[in-house]
Amino acid sequence: MVAPAVDAVILVGGRGTRLRPLTISTPKPMLPTANYPFLRHLLARIKSAGIEHVVLSTSFKAEVFEEYFGDGSELGLDIEYVVEETALGTGGGIRNVYDKLRHDTVMVFNGDVLSGMDLNGILAAHEEKDADLTMHLLNVSDPRAFGCVPTDSNGQVTAFLEKTEDPPTNQINAGCYVFKKELIESIPADRVVSVERETFPQLLEAGKRVFGHVDNSYWRDMGRPDDFVRGSSDIVRGIAPSPLLEGHTGESFVDPSAGIAGGVLLLSGTAVGRGSEVGAGCRIDGTVVFDGVTIEPGAVITNSILASGVHVGANAHIDNCVIGEGATIGARCELQGGMRVFPGVQIPDAGVRFSSDA
């Protein structure tokens, strides 16, 4: 466990457009993931690493975070909030929290990345090398879709490269950084700044000690529905670590208030939230079921997300879909292929709307 003289900064200001309609009314980091808001898993890992002071850089629906977490005392943390009135980019968002920082070492997290990285490991590497900035790097099989970060034999970063068809390294920026506080003060205030395209290259030009820390533990960007479903499933199954589920991992994770009828199969890391009801004979496979969902008997649901208050009719089949808050899916309906149903939409029972000779 590290000394508590580290600030954690979490960037949670994005609008999460790739996860619409789930993010119309809920910030992406607050979406239920293995039955907890996604951000709670990260905060639990930060707490386990011995870090106590957390600053959330918020923007979209900023009030939702403070209403849920308050001052953080119930989690054993000290949480403060800074709101971006206009979008400032990654660098601008980091600079915007400067006045809340208390310590000389600042660990910055991207609020939509699910990671099993050893937080103490990167902090120890940062201190050992007396780095100005230490970046979490990840080895991937195909780095062409990412910005690459080559390093020398000592781990010192030599360049920041944009996407290229012939990358010189398979090391990519994994979105977690350890800064010396003074570097954050040097980022321009009150304007849009990209750390990847502006701040980091300028640090190299200025001769700052920028190091990469390679940690190939579990890592997933939770920005798309398929990744969101897989990430939640991996937490439930213990593939992705979360202190919140220690000792409770398996094929499914069901809130104690949920009702599961006889003959139900809950498979592949399915999560079922508070007050949800699953009827007899259903098969729910690799799916995230939010709070207050009703699934009638015989439904088959695979690799999907059901938002709060959804009603699924008997014997419906749903595969690889996102069903928005309060939507109704009629009996015997078949939905598949990435379909997204927006909040409150009602899809009638199969056969009701169309005649047999239509």
292: domain CATH number?
A: 2.160.10.10
- Mean pLDDT of the residues in the chain: 90
Q: What is the pLDDT of residue 90?
A: 83
Contact 175, 113 (CB under 8 A): yes
CA angle 66, 71, 75 (to 5 degrees): 105
CATH label of the domain that carries residue 198: 3.90.550.10
Q: Quick one: which of 90, 88, 79, 33 has its CA closest to 245? A: 33
Task: Report the C-alpha gap between 300 and 323 in whole angstroms.
Answer: 14
Calculate mean pLDDT across residues 234-258: 92
Give dist(CA 15, CA 27) in Å, integer: 7
Q: Residues 81, 126: one domain?
A: yes
Is residue 244 one of the residues assigned to a domain?
Answer: no
Counted domains in the chain: 2
- Statement to judge: residues 39 and 182 lie in one domain: yes
pLDDT of amino acid 194? 87
pLDDT at 354 over 60: no
49 and 89: one domain? yes
- Give long-range contacts, CB 8 A cutoff, 24+ apart: 259-268: 261/297, 268/233, 268/237
CA distance 231 to 233: 5
25 and 128 housed in the same domain: yes
How large a percentage of the chain has pLDDT more than 70? 96
Query: pLDDT of 62-80, one tens digit each?
Result: 788 899 999 999 999 999 9
pLDDT in tens, 277-320: 999 999 999 999 999 999 999 999 999 999 999 999 999 999 99
Do 82 and 136 fall into the same domain?
yes
240 belongs to a structural domain: no
106-134 tens-digit pLDDT: 999 988 899 999 999 999 999 999 999 99
The answer as to whether 100 is a domain residue is yes
Q: Is position 355 within any domain?
A: no
Answer yes or no: is 17 within a domain.
Answer: yes
- Tell me, yes or no, whether 121 and 31 share the same domain: yes
List the domain range (segments joined by +) for residue 338: 251-347
256 and 186, same domain (yes or no) = no
pLDDT at 356: 25
Same domain, residue pair 161 and 30: yes
Please give the pLDDT value at position 4.
58
pLDDT mean over 83-105? 88
Q: What is the pTM of this model?
A: 0.91
Are the C-beta atoms of residues 345 and 328 closer than 8 Å to each other? yes
Express as a percent the part of the chain with pLDDT over 90.
67
Q: Quote the CA–CA distance of 137 and 4 in Å, as a whole number.
A: 24
- CA dist list (Å): 358 to 248, 352, 355: 50, 12, 5
Both structure tokens of 6? 């580290």
